[in-house]
Amino acid sequence: MIEFQNVTRTYGDRVAVAGLTLTLPEGELFAMLGPNGAGKTTTIKMLVGLLRPTSGRVFVNGCDVARHPREAAQCIGYIPDEPFLYDKLSGREFLEFVAQMRGLDRRTRTARIDREVACFDLGGFFDDLTETYSHGMKQRLVFAAALLHDPQVLVIDEPMVGLDPRSVRLAKDVLCARARAGTAVFMSTHILSMAEEIADRLCVLDRGRVNFLGTLSALQHELALPRTSLEPLFLKLTANGDGEAGPPQQSGPSLTGAAEPIEGPG
Amino acid sequence: MNATYSAANPPRYGHLPSMTDESRAFQQLSFRIARTLLRQTFSQAWFRLSLVMLLSAILWGGLLWLFYDGFQFLKTTIPLSDTRDQAVRALLHMFFASLTVMLVFSSAIILYSSLFRSRETAFLLTLPARTERIFLHKFQNAVIFSSWGFLLLGSPVLLAYGLSVSAPWYYFLVLPPFMVAFIYLPSAIGGIFCLLLVYYVPRHRLFVACVAAAVSTGIAFWMFWSLASNPDGDMLTLPWFQELLGRLRYSDQRLMPSWWLSSGLLEAARGQWAESLLFLALIVSNAMLLRQLALWTAARTYRVAYSALCGLESSRRQARVVWLDEAIVRYARFLPLQIRLLIVKDLRLFRRDPVQWSQFLIFFGLLVFYFSNVRRFSHDIQYVGWVNMVSFMNVSVVGLLLSTFNTRFIFPMVSLEGSRFWVLGLLPVRRETILWSKFLFAATASMIPSSVLILLSDLMLEVRAPILASHQLTCVLLSVGLAGIAVGLGAKLPNLREQSPSRIAAGFGGTLNLVISTLYIVLIVLLTALPCHFYFALNGYVTLAAANTHWGRYFYLWLTLGTVLSILLAALATVAPLRMGFRAFRRLEF
């Protein structure tokens, strides 16, 4: 459902993502991990069409994102780390706009909006202007907007920021349910416990390169630390990624020998 | 899973919205946002709205009267209708050509920030919306934003012309379509310029834009100088106009839209319907063509340009210690250390945010340009009273600029401390110290440029020493008083929820600050200007009935009284708001 083909993205002379090759089948819940500046947000922005790869190609549902951004966007539901909402629209008006832009007809639109309102418990503030919402309320509305059109691919950048414990549980359940229903869920997060709990596969990105790609048990096996939680594994894996020691270990391909860690835009 | 799908296994994209659906969705979006904004403005910001409407109406009415008077003057000065028509055509053409250039740049700047720097477009680009539709949405907003000034300035000129020549009803009917269609031309050119700039030279976009702006400004200056240099003969006489028309011939460019606009409206004023409609059709068709060209350009360049701009390496800005910061901390020992440190902090925040100071740099630059040319205009008019009046008008203009500066930057300072009060609030600093530092910062930052500007203006006008001293005193009084009003009201009426200084300034408190500041400026200038005017009247430089009366003879009494009153007023304007602000700021809970 998602395919990165030897994707590299540079900012000036610096390499943000180096030769990323990755495939996600439908129904997989995939977590991308990495320290700050590892290239996670850049990867996600290339996936949703905001950035173009310097080289390589990104496909969503068989569609080249750079060449056919509309078709790709129609397959994707995107929840950014700092979601945008129109201050002067109510939650209902915002969802209606998104549904219209997704090409949903009036009847489907109403049904889907009702469904998401119920799912994310938006009823209490749905007709208020979004400028009055708390961060958690905004995040729930953005989840609802991303799921309105039942996307085949769900892309989430730091999904749990600002959510209360109940909403976090709800979001995790929704992501798992969507993945079970066949949606490919691509998630970037710093919350290792959540990745450990719900992700089918992990990718640890460091300095733009894939340090590890596989399941948790494969990681435990690779580092010879059976029955260890993800946090110590992650810290061990990225120990060289703080700019203090030598180059990171690498299991994925890379284009340049000396990629530097950088912070992508946003 | 790859790019090649067979006929038996087509990719599933779902139903993409049609162009009509997209259009409807964006129309509803704009309508709903506008409706909410209007509703909120009427219910929450009626004072500001009324004030803006009132001031706009006064300005518009004033311009209408001024231009009407100007056209009447032309009528009496140039009795030959052909020459008069030529003069009007040339003037309108020049006027609208200048506005066209300004509109190109303003729409390009607005579109740049809304297409490439706004979070809304990042959101829209992740939806299955057509690229050109996103551009169109932002383009229409940019047209509205960049054209209000055009309408405010352009409509009174054209209305005044129609009224002065008793144009037929048809003239007034075609006026709106002419103006609306005309606005689209520079806006579309600005949009295309912006897109191509970021598409082809994302890294050097600022440099290229600056070169283009410099070239345009250079051409404008050249034209200005060539017109302003004194023609032979007396000013504002028929030969003078004829020579001026000769100089304007080079601007008679029939391929320029401003020429089409002025010609079309002149034909309409003469009752030549068919000719006028021809020009209107020419402008409308070109507007449509350029709009379409802009959409076509956007469809091919916008996404790539957006990505290219995002892909530029963000340069890390290093904080440098400037000599001024060092000097304030080391040598301004007459101030407590905490106040010095707070002043340096505010100075650094101000200096490192170009949005904060760039517009004022432009304003002050224009004022310097104007002041340096004041003598040029006054050269032929050896009229002391006129010089005196102009010099006080200059003081008023500087005062109004200072009031805008204080409203826009000083008034929101206390509100902006709200979000970072965990720093100042936990330090062993008295709250009064914070306000004092802001007051001193504002007063000094206002005093230095305003005094220098007025000194420059007075030297150019060759005003007498007592008047020069009076102006310098006025500058000090204005700077101190306006700073007191802005800091005091800012502490009394803070908006702790808002992060944007411009929004804080646009709220009730900011508007009130602007009104009180304006009243203060008017009073101070009147108190210092009137005695000087009496002085000139007394000495026979100006005609003033009051000068010959018993009261008019006591110039020195008037002068002393005016100065004392203005100092008292300045003290009141400084102390009263500051005391009120101190009290409110002590009680404020963040």
Residues B169 and B71 grouped into a single domain: yes
| Residues of chain B neighbouring A63 (CB-CB closer than 8 A) | 3, 11, 13
- Residue B75 carries which side chain, given as an amino acid letter? K
Torsion on CA atoms B49, B55, B59, B60, rounded to nearest 10 = 30
Chain B residues with beta carbon closer than 8 angstroms to that of A86: 29, 33, 120
Evaluate whether residue B2 is within a structural domain.
Answer: no
How many A×B Cβ pairs under 8 Å? 137
Look at residue B446 and tell me if it is in a domain. yes
Q: Is the pLDDT of residue A176 over 50?
A: yes
Question: How many helices (DSSP H) and strands (DSSP E) are in chain B?
Answer: 21, 0
B29 part of contact set with chain A, CB < 8 Å: yes
- Which is it for the CA torsion A157, A162, A168, A170, positive or negative? negative
- A83's enclosing H/E stretch is none
Nearest to A24 by CA among A48, A58, A1, A57: A1
A9/B16 touch (CB, cutoff 8 Å), yes or no: no
B273-310 and B131-164 helices, crossing angle to 10°? 140
Separation between Cα atoms, residue A11 and residue B313, nearest integer Å = 5
Q: How far apart are CA B543 and CA B108, in angstroms?
A: 50
Retrieve residue B226's tokens.
């060539």
Pairwise CB contact (< 8 Å): B120 & A149:
no
Q: What is the pLDDT of residue B279?
A: 92
pLDDT on residue B123: 93
B6 located within any domain: no
Residue B234 to residue B255: CA distance in whole angstroms: 33
The token duo for B462 is 């060759």
B6 touches chain A (CB under 8 A): no
What is chain B's percent helix, strand, coil content, to nearest 5? 80, 0, 20
A226 and chain B in contact, CB less than 8 A = no
In the three-class reduction of DSSP (H, G, I as helix; E, B as strand; rest coil), residue A209 is classed as strand
Please name the residues in contact with B590: beta carbons below 8 A apart, sequence gap of 6 or more: B418, B421, B425, B496
CB atoms within 10 A of CB A168: 16
| CB spacing of A149 vs B129 below 8 angstroms | no
Q: In chain A, what percentage of residues exceed pLDDT 90?
A: 39
Query: Looking at the predicted structure, is the pLDDT value of residue A44 above 90?
Result: yes
CATH class of A2-82+152-166+177-242: alpha beta
Domain containing residue B332: 321-352
Residues B300 and B254 in one domain: yes
CA Rg, chain B, in Å?
Answer: 28
Question: CA of A71: which chain B residue's CA is closest?
Answer: B13
Asked, for residue B11, whether it belongs to a domain, the answer is no
Q: Quick check: A127 contacting B, CB < 8 Å?
A: no
Tokens found for residue A23: 């495939």
Whether residue B218 contacts residue B207, with contact meaning beta carbons closer than 8 Å, is answered with no
- Which residues in chain A are contacts of B307 at CB distance < 8 A? 50-52
Q: Taking 90 as the threshold, does the pLDDT of residue A58 lie above it?
A: yes
Q: Which residues are bridge partners to A17 per DSSP?
A: A9
User: Same structural domain for residues B459 and B583?
Assistant: yes
pLDDT surpasses 60 at A263? no
Domain ranges (residues) in chain A: 2-82+152-166+177-242
Q: What is the pLDDT of residue B335?
A: 86
| B13–A63 CB contact, under 8 Å | yes
Nearest to A21 by CA among A258, A177, A251: A251
Judge whether B15 is closer than 8 Å to chain A, CB to CB: yes
Cβ–Cβ contact A59 with B under 8 A = yes
Residue B498 Rama label (left phi>0; alpha psi -120 to 50; beta) = beta
Interface contact B314-A11, CB threshold 8 A: yes
Of B37, B128, B312, the CB nearest to A70: B128
Q: Give the C-alpha separation, B576 to B590, whole Å.
A: 24
Shared-domain flag, residues B347 and B282 = no
Task: Please state, in angstroms and rounded to a whole number, the distance separating the CA atoms of residues B251 and B244.
Answer: 12
B146 and B284 belong to one structural domain = yes
Q: A9 φ, ψ to 5°?
A: -135, 130
CB-based contact A69 B304, cutoff 8 Å: no
Identify the DSSP state of A200.
S
| B156/B207 same-domain check | yes
Q: Is A265 in CB contact (< 8 Å) with chain B?
A: yes
B191 and B274 both lie in a single domain: yes
Residue B304 and residue B173 share a domain: yes
- The pLDDT of residue B154 is 83
C-beta of residue B247 within 8 angstroms of C-beta of residue B90:
no
Question: Looking at the partner chain, which of A78, A86, A152 has a beta carbon nearest the beta carbon of B12?
Answer: A152
A50, A98, A100: residue with CB nearest B21:
A100
Q: Are residues B300 and B420 in the same domain?
A: no
What's the pTM? 0.77
Interface predicted TM-score (ipTM) of this complex, two decimals: 0.85
Per-residue pLDDT band for A255 (boundaries 50, 70, 90) equals: very low
Q: Any idea what the Cα angle at residue A103 is, between residues A100 and A106, rounded to 5°?
A: 65
Q: Which region holds residue B129: left if phi is over 0, alpha if psi is between -120 and 50, else beta?
A: beta
Q: Is A131 on the interface with B (CB under 8 A)?
A: no
Kindly state whether B43 is in contact with chain A, defined as any CB-CB distance less than 8 angstroms.
Answer: no
Domain count, chain B: 3
- CA distance, residue A193 to nearest chain B CA (Å): 29
DSSP 8-class letter at B249: G
Sign for the pseudo-dihedral over CA of B499, B500, B503, B509: positive
Nearest to A207 by CA among A9, A6, A1: A9
SS3 A77: strand
pLDDT of residue A251: 39
DSSP annotation of A53: -
Query: How confident is the prediction along chain B (590 residues), in pLDDT tens digits per residue?
Result: 343 334 444 445 567 888 888 899 999 999 999 999 888 888 876 777 787 788 788 888 988 998 888 888 888 877 777 777 777 877 787 788 888 888 888 888 889 988 988 889 999 999 999 999 999 999 998 888 877 777 887 888 889 988 988 888 888 999 989 988 998 999 999 999 999 999 998 888 888 888 888 887 787 777 766 665 655 555 556 666 666 666 666 556 777 888 888 889 888 988 888 889 999 999 999 999 999 999 999 999 999 999 988 877 666 666 677 788 888 888 888 888 888 888 888 888 888 877 667 767 777 777 777 776 666 555 544 566 667 777 788 888 888 888 888 888 889 888 888 777 777 777 788 888 888 999 999 999 889 888 988 888 888 777 778 778 888 888 999 999 999 999 999 998 888 777 777 778 877 788 888 889 988 998 998 888 777 766 666 665 555 454 455 555 566 677 778 888 999 999 999 999 999 999 988 887 76
